């Protein structure tokens, strides 16, 4: 991954020299995402800047990517996992200028315009400038794995950037560019391009997916995402999801994906990484999983004070004041720094599984398959503001790319294409039982049947307890009593939330920035469905998994 920045709708006679300097300064605020090289394109009506993290074709593939005739200019943050298949299917010849997986976007634009987005399986956010037509295209992947923001400056110019921090100095109007959408300047309309059939429960009701098909789908998703020419690893918390991803990666690690597994991988030994406070549940479980899978394992510890010191920078990087996200982002941010120091530039991670399979503990209360399925869809739709945001920005703060095989579009088509009655938990059945059954024998049973822990819980319960205690000290009674006056929009409900909101405001002032963060609680008790399933969730002010009363530890009793 990388970072992109674009400025469009530039009026005739504008000072391009000054605008170029402003664009470079803005792009520098997100250069942590792409420390390997910077590229810029300027012409009369568009400026594109790219900060590169070289993963595929590190010797070439510099951006912005230009067509042979120079009329198409493309800046992309992301990976196109099926780029070779798409290139082979092109009906209109296109002379590729690099080995970049992303250049196929230019070819698709030439062949079929924005309709080509439906042929991509990958994670991406991009801006494309068509100089001949005086037209630009902005697009973001269906699930919002790659972040993207846009806004307008005082002169009415359109700005686009990977992170909000690149826009706040120049744009009064700032917002999230929605996942699964594109904006074509020719029409001036924002349009969705991804509407899978599985979103409608009636389209999947009664459908079965065998355990073998489910397992094969995840294995192939991991295989696709091992597309890399640089050292990589896996994040291994010792929970079910990261362990399954690691197990699949271990199967394919010795062969090079980009030549159809014919040659030996450039970096054939699979490294795994975990972090936690001393004695944390995750560290112990991760070591057990790593030993069983044969990875070269690196378990790191951090002290509470180290996490506390990092927290203001974490909020600046992840660009949120959501409590759950910040709690989990901080240890991930610290882990990313350790990973970067070891020379690793890409990791596979387990985000998305809980949303697809109803892995959160409150799903035990789902009354029927339709309700279960609809809540999974709602959770998937919200991923870009929570887990995807955390994994992407916490890791990219140190120039480490996080890939998420559970969110591979082909895997989701299989996993969400089954009737949710096969996924339901409760009455002695553990959450995500079908996924666990599909991988029986692949990882040790204590890992395969380990109960759900939120990452911020698993790194050590004293992490969350310490944060709440610290917030009680730094947020005074008078301050908290006036929370609604200071923050009338998304008013913090706890002292911890007030503390995070205050730190966020230092970097991202104003209601426009605050509105990019969802209101309320980002957990079970924020869900209308969860409230309907069990009104007791309304009383749960704390988003820790331990706070889901009557389920944690007792879930399978």
Reported as a single tens digit per residue, the pLDDT across 334-351 is 999 999 999 999 999 999
pLDDT, one tens digit per residue, over 289-320 is: 999 999 999 999 999 999 999 999 999 999 99
**Residue 245 in contact with residue 222, Cβ under 8 Å?**
yes
Highest mean pLDDT among 54-68, 206-220, 460-474, 520-534: 206-220
pLDDT at 548: 53
Gap between the Cα atoms of 325 and 301, Å rounded: 20
Whether residue 235 is annotated as binding a ligand: the answer is: yes
Gap between the Cα atoms of 254 and 206, Å rounded: 39
pLDDT, one tens digit per residue, over 505-544 is: 999 999 999 999 997 544 444 577 777 887 776 666 555 5
In terms of pLDDT, which residue wins out, 435 or 264? 435
Q: Which two tokens stand for residue 451?
A: 């109960």
Q: Tell me the mean pLDDT in the region 254-258.
A: 78
pLDDT at 524: 47
Whether residue 3 is annotated as binding a ligand: the answer is: no
Whether residue 293 is annotated as binding a ligand: the answer is: no
Q: Tell me the mean pLDDT in the region 195-222.
A: 98
Q: Which residues are catalytically annotated?
A: 2
pLDDT at 135: 97
Q: Is 444 exposed, middle or buried (0-12, 13-18, 19+ CB in 10 A)?
A: middle
Candidate from 147-156, 162-171, 358-367, 391-400 with smallest mean pLDDT? 358-367
Query: Omega into 520 within 30° of 0, i.e. cis?
Result: no
pLDDT at 523: 47
Answer yes or no: is pLDDT of 455 > 90: no
Which pLDDT band, with edges at 50, 70 and 90, does 121 fall under? very high
Which pLDDT band, with edges at 50, 70 and 90, does 428 fall under? confident
Q: Provide the mean pLDDT of the chain.
A: 92
Q: With residue 100 as reference, give the H or E element that holds it.
A: none
Whether residue 101 is annotated as binding a ligand: the answer is: yes
% residues pLDDT > 70 (the chain): 93
| C-alpha to C-alpha distances, 238 to 9, 270, 291, 547, nearest whole angstrom | 49, 16, 11, 21
Buried b (16+ CB within 10 A) or exposed e, 341-360: eeebbbbbbbbbbbbbbbbb
Which pLDDT band, with edges at 50, 70 and 90, does 262 fall under? confident
pLDDT, one tens digit per residue, over 229-249 is: 889 999 999 999 999 999 999
57: left (phi over 0), alpha (psi -120 to 50) or beta: left
Q: Tell me the mean pLDDT in the region 77-96.
A: 95
In order, the DSSP letters of 514-530 are HTTS--S-SSGGG-HHH
pLDDT at 62: 86
Look at residues 437, 336, 296, 418 and name the one whose alpha carbon lies nearest to residue 369. Answer: 418
pLDDT, one tens digit per residue, over 48-85 is: 999 999 888 787 778 999 999 999 999 999 999 999 99
Whether residue 326 is annotated as binding a ligand: the answer is: no
Side-chain-facing half-sphere of 314: CA atoms under 13 Å: 28
Answer yes or no: is pLDDT of 463 > 70: yes
Please give the domain boundaries of the chain with CATH numbers for all domains. Answer: 3-195 (3.60.20.10), 199-547 (3.40.50.620)
Answer yes or no: is pLDDT of 18 > 90: yes
pLDDT at 556: 38
């Amino acid at each position: 991954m990388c970072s992109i920045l674009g400025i469009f709708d530039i009026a005739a006679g504008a000072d391009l020299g000054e605008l170029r300097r402003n664009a470079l300064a803005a792009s520098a605020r997100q250069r942590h995402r792409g420390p390997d090289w910077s590229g810029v394109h300027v012409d009369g009506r568009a400026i594109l800047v790219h900060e590169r993290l070289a993963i595929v074709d590190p010797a070439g593939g510099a951006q912005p990517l230009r067509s042979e005739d120079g009329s198409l200019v493309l800046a992309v943050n992301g990976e196109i996992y099926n780029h070779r298949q798409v290139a082979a299917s092109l009906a209109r010849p296109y002379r590729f200028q690099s080995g970049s997986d992303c250049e196929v976007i230019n070819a698709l634009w030439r062949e079929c315009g924005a309709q080509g987005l439906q042929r991509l399986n990958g994670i991406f956010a991009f801006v494309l400038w068509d100089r001949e037509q005086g037209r630009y295209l902005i697009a973001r992947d269906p699930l919002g794995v790659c972040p993207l923001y846009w806004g307008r400056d005082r002169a009415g110019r359109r700005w686009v950037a990977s992170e909000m921090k690149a826009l706040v100095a120049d744009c009064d109007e700032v917002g999230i560019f929605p996942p699964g959408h594109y904006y074509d300047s020719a029409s001036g309309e924002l349009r969705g391009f991804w509407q899978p059939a599985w979103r409608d429960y009636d389209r999947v009701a009664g459908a079965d997916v065998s355990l073998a098909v489910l397992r094969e789908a995840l294995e192939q998703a991991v295989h696709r995402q091992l597309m890399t020419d640089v050292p990589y690893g896996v994040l291994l918390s010792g929970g079910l999801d990261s362990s399954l991803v690691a197990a699949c990666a271990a199967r394919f690690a010795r062969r090079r994906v980009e030549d159809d597994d014919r040659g030996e991988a450039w970096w054939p030994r699979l490294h795994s990484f975990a972090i936690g406070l001393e004695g944390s549940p995750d560290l112990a479980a991760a070591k057990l999983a790593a030993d069983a899978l044969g990875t070269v394992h690196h378990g790191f510890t951090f002290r509470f004070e180290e996490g506390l010191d990092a927290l203001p920078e974490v909020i600046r990087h992840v660009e949120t004041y959501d409590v759950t996200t910040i709690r989990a982002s901080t240890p991930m941010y610290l882990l990313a720094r350790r990973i970067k120091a070891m020379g690793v530039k890409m990791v596979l991670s387990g985000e998305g599984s809980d949303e697809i399979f109803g892995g959160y503990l409150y799903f035990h209360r789902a009354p029927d398959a339709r309700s279960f399925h609809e809540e999974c869809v709602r959770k998937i739709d919200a991923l870009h503001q929570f887990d995807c945001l955390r994994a992407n920005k916490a890791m990219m703060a140190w120039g480490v790319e996080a890939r998420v095989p559970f969110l591979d579009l082909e895997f989701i088509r299989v996993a969400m294409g089954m009737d949710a009655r096969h996924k339901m938990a409760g009455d002695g059945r553990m959450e995500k039982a079908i996924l666990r059954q599909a991988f029986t024998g692949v990882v040790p049973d204590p890992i395969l049947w380990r109960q759900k822990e939120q990452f911020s819980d698993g790194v050590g319960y004293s992490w969350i307890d310490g944060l709440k205690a610290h917030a009680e000290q730094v947020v005074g009674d008078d301050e908290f009593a006036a929370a609604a006056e200071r923050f009338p929009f998304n008013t913090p409900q706890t002292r911890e939330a007030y503390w995070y909101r205050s730190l966020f405001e230092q970097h991202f002032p104003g209601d426009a920035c605050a509105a990019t963060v969802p209101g309320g609680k980002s957990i079970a008790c924020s869900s209308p469905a969860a409230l309907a399933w069990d009104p007791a969730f309304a009383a749960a002010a704390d988003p820790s998994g331990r706070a889901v009363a009557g389920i944690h530890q007792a879930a399978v009793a």
